[in-house]
Amino acid sequence: MVETLYNNGANSIWEHSLLDPASIMSGRRKANPQDKVHPNKAEFIRAKYQMLAFVHRLPCRDDDSVTAKDLSKQLHSSVRTGNLETCLRLLSLGAQANFFHPEKGNTPLHVASKAGQILQAELLAVYGADPGTQDSSGKTPVDYARQGGHHELAERLVEIQYELTDRLAFYLCGRKPDHKNGQHFIIPQMAESSLDLSDLAKAAKKKLQSLSNHLFEELAMDVYDEVDRRETDAVWLATQNHSTLVTETTVVPFLPVNPEYSSTRNQGRQKLARFNAHEFATLVIDILSDAKRRQQGSPLSSSKDNVELILKTINNQHTIESQDNDQPDYDSVASDEDTDLEATASKANRQKSLDSDLSDGPVTVQEFMEVKNALVASEAKIQQLMKVNNNLSDELRIMQKKLLGKDAN
């Protein structure tokens, strides 16, 4: 899709105002290859693709809603053809990818799927088209793709529909559902010893289930971004040597601020980084479970349980706050007796962990993630050592050649 758009001059859409001679007078220009990545190229890329600063804008009028509706109707008619560039231009001007045509009773994705236009469907999905939307007959774009014999398109639409839950499941257990055989969700199970059965955990799960679909979608997207941040962070740390990590600030401790989101949502996104591996895995499993429940339309548990859990949570919070108020303002200094007790406790914990390692019980998600990260770090270290070994071998050959040359002279 990207190659097709590029070959058809899609760059002129993203840089429309830069190609206008009047833009030269305003001082705006395209980044040069010689410019620095930061801040020149980074700011230009952000302005071009994220902020859409150079896209052609229609003049503001009182009937903007009518204009958007007309553009969406044009998009509805255009997606049945293979002209990607026209559809991209309409979308950039404000056409809605999920526009429901009042007369025809369907969306542009229904039309593209029925016509077998896989690239058009991909472009619409990038702009937020929902593969699970039903038309006036109760059919989804996937249904029309299968009816038309466009099996590749149908499989791709299913992948797009379950992309988020597939990504979360793969993060936890390294497996994805088999959509071809009707398996759309994988919900990893944690060992009973690792389950958090406290009232606070149960109340948090109930609050998650009581969220509206819109708020639940936002939370799921934020967790998706946090998964990507954690995996990128793990790979980056594994490929860096310790001296570089000490001298340079390269780790992003939490998700960056998104200017399109509210301050409350940005704060919530950044607080996800404070979850340890076990807490984050529990949240991901709860999201997967509730996504499956919402998809299948299963009912919630009784409201009586929700009220009891919320009351228990409030009481627990008051108890914790009263305990915090009784604590001194400064940390206490450990005595020699405390040090001896801590040493004894640490030995007991080490022995307990060794005993648990020797047992044949189920492996927890936290243990799996720790082993996974350790393997990634070990592989990176091996690659680094192999590179050092090759460099030493090259230096040794050079020295041998020099010695042989001296002997020959």
- Of the two residues 208 and 306, the one the predictor is more confident about is 208
* In the predicted structure, residue 397 carries a pLDDT above the cut 70: yes
Q: How far is CA 164 from CA 179, 220, 397, in A?
A: 14, 8, 52
* In the predicted structure, residue 93 carries a pLDDT above the cut 70: yes
Residue-level pLDDT at 108:
97
Q: What is the mean pLDDT of residues 277-286?
A: 92
* In the predicted structure, residue 154 carries a pLDDT above the cut 60: yes
User: Terminus-to-terminus CA distance in the chain, angstroms?
Assistant: 64
Q: What is the mean pLDDT of residues 347-376?
A: 57
* In the predicted structure, residue 120 carries a pLDDT above the cut 60: yes
For residue 106, the one-letter residue type is N
Write a three-state SS string for 197-226. Answer: CCHHHHHHHHHHHHCCHHHHHHHHHHHHHH
Give me the chain's average pLDDT, please.
79
CA distance 354 to 347: 11
DSSP character for 188?
A: -
Write a three-state SS string for 263-317. Answer: HHHHHHHHHHHHCCHHHHHHHHHHHHHHHHHHHHCCCCCCHHHHHHHHHHHHHHH
* Tokens encoding 222: 């934020």
Q: What is the mean pLDDT of residues 227-231?
A: 94
Residue-level pLDDT at 96:
93
CA distance 91 to 224: 25
Exposed, middle or buried by CB within 10 Å (0-12, 13-18, 19+), for 157?
buried
Residue-level pLDDT at 307:
43
* In the predicted structure, residue 66 carries a pLDDT above the cut 80: no
* In the predicted structure, residue 210 carries a pLDDT above the cut 70: yes
9-42 residue pLDDT tens: 777 777 777 777 665 555 667 777 888 888 888 8
| HSE (side-chain half, CA atoms, 13 Å) at 121 | 29
| HSE (side-chain half, CA atoms, 13 Å) at 307 | 3
Contacts 24+ apart (CB under 8 A), 27-33: 28/54
pTM of the model: 0.64
Q: What is the mean pLDDT of residues 323-331?
A: 44
* In the predicted structure, residue 170 carries a pLDDT above the cut 90: yes
305-326 residue pLDDT tens: 444 444 454 455 545 545 544 4
Share of residues in the chain with pLDDT > 90 (%): 40
Q: How far is CA 100 from CA 51, 172, 173, in A?
A: 26, 37, 38
Q: Which of 126, 131, 139, 134 is nearest to 87 (CA)?
A: 126
* In the predicted structure, residue 233 carries a pLDDT above the cut 70: yes
CA distance 293 to 279: 21
239-258 residue pLDDT tens: 776 555 555 555 568 898 98
Q: What is the mean pLDDT of residues 230-237?
A: 87
Q: Which residues of 127-146 are buried (b: 16+ CB within 10 A; e: fewer)?
A: bebbbeeebeeebbbbbbbb
Alpha helices in 48-198, H assignment, sequence order: 64-78, 84-93, 108-115, 118-126, 141-147, 151-161, 163-173
CA distance 380 to 386: 10
Under a CB-based contact definition with an 8 Å cutoff, are residues 335 and 247 in contact?
Answer: no
CA distance 323 to 327: 7
What's the distance, CA 221 to chain centroid? 6
